Amino acid sequence: MKKTYLLLRFLLPAFILLLAMQSRAQYVFTPSRTLINYQNYNSLTYDSIHIANNGTDTLKLKWALLSLDTTGGTYFDFCSSGNCWLGVPAAGSFPPIVPGGWGYAGMHLWTGNTLAMSIARIWVYREGNYAVGDTLSFILFAEHQTAVKNNTAANDIITLYPMPASDKVIISIAFATAADSKISIYNSLGGLVFSKTYPEKTIEIPLAQYKEGLYFVSLESGKQQYIKKLLIAR
């Protein structure tokens, strides 16, 4: 009995390690588990880490936020295979990934007006097996002060209400717009879903045709562009 116990004591860790290696081998992160982005002050970009399912079973992954360290007005908005949130939730699930398919862990990367580095880290693991997983790191450097896109100034220029919106959104613009002022709406993946030029300072846009989720409203006037978030929830 003692020999059996000792054998199990030494073999069990190796068996657990083998299971862990097999579990991780069923999915691959591309280009790596770390995403590093350099961008201008006061700007927005989007980038993601792809998750390929190279196994034979449908892949069900979950995530948990490990750490979030932002400076100088910089912040992150997390997306899991098309489902996007304001900020980074404490935990959640990815949509199932079929064999041969892929999903992604993405971030909308907002920089403030300070030369700084910000980092978000999430733990990705198979459903029901939190102990075996991978840390994904999103590292953002704000390094220049020449960006045209200005999400900080947008707080003083554009007001959206109600928020979250349902069937319509009303856009109020602080300055007297010219004929070349254009309102555009982009979905969470950066696709243009609406664009129109308005001379008015208060604009009402119907939203019934758009799915729930995170969108971005862009106001372009002259050479300036201001961006604000729009959340549609019903």
Q: Are 103 and 131 in contact (CB under 8 A)?
A: no
What tens digit of pLDDT does each residue of 19-74 get? 344 445 689 999 999 998 988 888 889 999 999 999 999 999 999 999 999 988 89
Judged on CB neighbours under 10 Å (0-12, 13-18, 19+), 192 is exposed
Q: Is 154-232 in the same CATH topology as 27-144?
A: yes
Q: Which of 68, 51, 50, 69 is nearest to 60 (CA)?
A: 51
Residue 176 binned pLDDT confidence (cut-offs 50, 70, 90): low
Domain ranges of the chain: 27-144, 154-232
Topology (CATH level 3) of domain 27-144: Immunoglobulin-like (2.60.40)
CATH of 154-232, one of 3.90.1010.10, 2.130.10.10, 2.60.40.3580, 1.10.10.10: 2.60.40.3580
The pLDDT score that the predictor gives to residue 82 is: 87
The pLDDT score that the predictor gives to residue 149 is: 45
Bridging pattern class, strands 158-161 and 168-173: antiparallel
Q: Where are the beta strands (DSSP E) in the chain?
A: 27-30, 34-40, 44-53, 61-69, 75-80, 83-84, 91-93, 102-110, 116-126, 133-144, 158-161, 168-173, 182-186, 192-197, 202-206, 213-221, 224-232
What tens digit of pLDDT does each residue of 105-131 get? 999 999 887 778 899 999 999 999 999
Phi, psi of 22 (to 5 degrees): -65, -40
The pLDDT score that the predictor gives to residue 25 is: 60
The residues, ordered by sequence, that sit 6+ positions from 43 with a Cβ below 8 Å of its Cβ are 110, 111, 147, 148, 149, 150, 151
Residue 124 CA from chain centroid, whole number: 15
Rounded Cα distance, 234 and 224, in Å: 32
Q: Are 83 and 213 in contact (CB under 8 A)?
A: yes
